[in-house]
Amino acid sequence: MERLWAPWRMEYILNPKPGGCIFCLDDERDKDRENLVLHRSDHSFVMMNRYPYCNGHMMVSPYRHISDLEKLKSEEMLDLFAAVALCTRVLSDKFAPQGFNVGINLGKAAGAGIDDHLHLHIVPRWIGDTNYMTVIADVRVMPENILATYDKLLPGFLA
């Protein structure tokens, strides 16, 4: 039997799981690093995905707790997609990906893990960025600690 050691998973196992919506963070501005929030604008914010597909995986969400695109006000829609563009620019500057997956999963059937608060995923991609671990072991290998990635990306959002 082969073993894959991931001692940092113990923190997830032992820590209490958050109650409520992970995207309802407007009142927690003093906890941005703890919540992995990189950027806030008038109507939306950018946070890193705590369980990323790959390094630099971000999510953009409106502050307002809504689940449907058609319920977004036009200023929220513009702000949301301006934040997506900002994410791709910062990721390009810091990590030089060769492409991006940008997507929205609307509803559980579409794969939304959290389906009652609209959010978009921005995933930087590189040619050959998946390897045998994902295919054979159903495991993703993250080459960098998430807070180290956060610290690399944050200055790009402050510029």
Check if the beta carbon of residue 46 is closer than 8 Å to that of residue 52: no
Establish whether 39 is a catalytic residue: no
Check if the beta carbon of residue 117 is closer than 8 Å to that of residue 23: yes
Q: What is the dihedral of CA 90, 94, 99, 102, to 10 degrees?
A: -40
Quote the CA–CA distance of 66 and 118 in Å, as a whole number: 6
Check if the beta carbon of residue 101 is closer than 8 Å to that of residue 49: no
Q: What are phi and psi of 100, to 5 degrees?
A: -140, 145
Distances (CA, A) of 156 to 8, 39, 69, 83, 132: 27, 10, 28, 13, 32
Q: Which of 43, 57, 119, 121 is catalytic?
A: 119
Q: Which residues are catalytic?
A: 119
